[in-house]
Chain A
């Protein structure tokens, strides 16, 4: 009996794999074009990265004066996206709001993709990727608790595992027409809320704790990270959900989408407020620390590469805030999507390049080296984004049919328990 069941498990799982593969390999033209596009980016990125490994990080524009750049900027932005997946969990549970519960799983899949991209960005940024294992005890040595990077390694991986376990468990159980195991899922989901706040706070502390960089050494950095994360993550999710609604039988209530947009408006307000507070402190106190903020917004002397980006970010963020705060534009699909793109772009700029480069320019000895990414960096970054998007696409290709009940096992030990409707939604989260 026990022997039968172990064989059963393997058979069921391989059935799931085969079924998933079938789903992934079946799609319309748009799907294949999308995959081809991502594939091309991935190949380009892989080639660029190979060159980088061979020659060294000198193929980037980073130098001693600006020793972190595009890769770390993208990493920071994506940690925010990953954390924001959980913005949806809070209303689902704390406010017990059903329309959101259906889509929490997609937030988690987004978090998984985002964390994967984060880890890849770190890997391409370090000088000796072959020594990555030096971070992993017991083989390596993790300078915990003194190094905030050690904390970041731990919490990011833990967050990844939590989301991965929860999402795959729920989906796999739904595939079998079963409920998830409450004792496993509920604590993990509830844990993921403080964890999401945690990963982004720890990432903020990475910068915040460096007294050498006055631009970063500011108490509001962690709250500001969270605020900008909680707009940028849902921005992607809202676009994805609308696409799912359009191209699959996936249903999501308008109210859910509008609610998320409303929450994003508040987060964006906080983000803008904190930026304003920072600007006041720098410009009014007018110490030498103003140099970094000035470089970002106005340039210094002949050095003003980043100024257009600074004001674009401000403009985009203000636009997004305006569009989301007013219910009229929030409910209009065109302005809603403009707002989503504006949020994504604005936060991407101010939290990527806008955080890293001004923090390091002028450098510790007052020198200005104007950094902007090289072709190698752009190709590698595009490749990593493509990997993340590909992962998300493939996961959705399997997850959506499962949640619609279209993809389920046909020969489970259970027999033919076939849940219908949004198996993942109502039932999976039907915790009163």
Chain B
């Protein structure tokens, strides 16, 4: 048996199978160690020191790319904060100012057009019924007779299907509840887009373009820094604003005050008031995504 099978028998001393195997294994382990410690990694729970270096690189890169000074924040989640959002559909008139405020604040591509908020025109006699929703309304004036309006964006679900399905772990929910994407780790497989029941995620089908004059230089590394083609993006509750204590751009621009935002753990926040005094509902609740985005009727 020993000699009749050149395939299974060993060679010279240096190529003895167990030693060869050991050499290969050792080389593999060394390579892995080199790649894992020195190579690019995802930003999930990245150590502060590494983040600092990365932020510096990003600021330089965007400065070169756009010819404008930018600040990329690495603000962490504030302890004791769980963000929630509430949108008053008795007030929304479908003016879409939130859509464009979001585009400007979050450096969304102008060409191809990416919009993180989609305002749906609904029929009053059908109520909230997504199969009869129209996002392409363009009348002279809003609101139109017989219709109400429902903006939809990322619901930042507690039980988010998108973070569950991402094969590389490029998207996750932060401690304050914001679901974020690591734009440098995303491979663009779009499984998360198939999984999202709210059509909230958007893909860069071609290279995004933002005119320099319109670039918002106040960025967050998990939020509104410019993306590249081939990755997914979505609403981040204006993480660059929210973690600095400010309201998201959509909340501030809404001319009828339909949008509310705050810390659901704070008993005196608008969100808690709304939950207590108004009747909230969530979209597609039977899917058990447990969104942090509530719709309500103030009137």
Contact = CB atoms under 8 A, between A and B. Distances in A.
A complexed with B: yes
Given A56-B205, A143-B168, A364-B196, A2 B190 contact: no
Contact of B35 (A64, A138, A150, A173): A138
Contact of A67 (B7, B193, B231): B193
Contacts of B4: 413-414
Main secondary structure of the interface of B (DSSP, over half): loop
Chain A interface size, as a band, is 35 or more
25 contacts: A2-B12, A3-B12, A6-B15, A56-B204, A56-B206, A57-B188, A58-B112, A64-B199, A65-B199, A68-B194, A131-B185, A134-B170, A135-B167, A141-B169, A142-B168, A142-B169, A146-B165, A147-B166, A149-B189, A210-B195, A211-B288, A291-B131, A364-B130, A366-B130, A367-B199
A108 interface: no
Interface stretch (A78-86, A122-130, A159-167, A231-239): A122-130
A126 B205 contact: no
Given A56-B230, A143-B166, A147-B167, A2 B11 contact: yes
Interface string B214-238: 0000000000000001111000000
A181 B6 CA distance: 12
Contacts of A173: 7
A127 B204 contact: yes
A422 B72 CA distance: 68
Contact of A128 (B16, B35, B191, B230): B230
Nearest to B5: A178
Which residue of B11, B132, B135, B288 has the most chain A CB atoms within 10 A of its CB atom? B11
A149 B167 contact: yes
A302 interface: no
Chain B interface size, as a band, is 35 or more
Contacts of A62: 205
Contacts, number: 181
Given A128-B186, A128-B230, A367-B135, A63 B205 contact: yes
Contacts of A107: none
Interface of A: 2-3, 5-9, 12, 55-58, 62-65, 67-68, 122, 125-129, 131-132, 134-135, 138-143, 146-150, 153, 172-173, 178, 181, 206, 209-213, 288, 291, 359-360, 362-367, 412-414
A425 B261 CA distance: 71
B110 interface: no
Given A8-B6, A57-B205, 14 more contacts: A56-B204, A57-B206, A58-B112, A64-B203, A68-B194, A122-B189, A125-B189, A128-B186, A128-B187, A128-B230, A141-B168, A149-B191, A206-B191, A213-B194
